[in-house]
Amino acid sequence: MARVWRRSRTHAGRLIRKARQELNITQSEMARRVGYSQQHVNFIESGAYRLPISSVDEFALVLNIDETALMRAALNDLMPDSGWEVVKKAGVPVK
């Protein structure tokens, strides 16, 4: 997985951190539940790594958040200028 060094968190990373903290789950516990290391979860939350699209469903399930919202955030991180358009073209309902 390629590193993406950013100063600010990614959209998906912010969403994951907020949901995890609201559930009072540590990064270590989150990592155990999704099959990642604690460091990897930290990197996703901080924006050093992007959330893999293939892991959106696992994170959404563990955090009890809308999978579509997390997918939108992850796509927006991958393609910040066109992420929303990609989601719309894929037929995902936009609220």
pLDDT reported for residue 76: 84
pLDDT reported for residue 9: 59
The full DSSP string for the chain is ------SS--HHHHHHHHHHHHTT--HHHHHHHHT--HHHHHHHHHTSSPPPGGGHHHHHHHHT--HHHHHHHHHHHH-TTTHHHHHHHTT----
- Which positions of the chain have pLDDT values less than 70? 1-9, 80-95
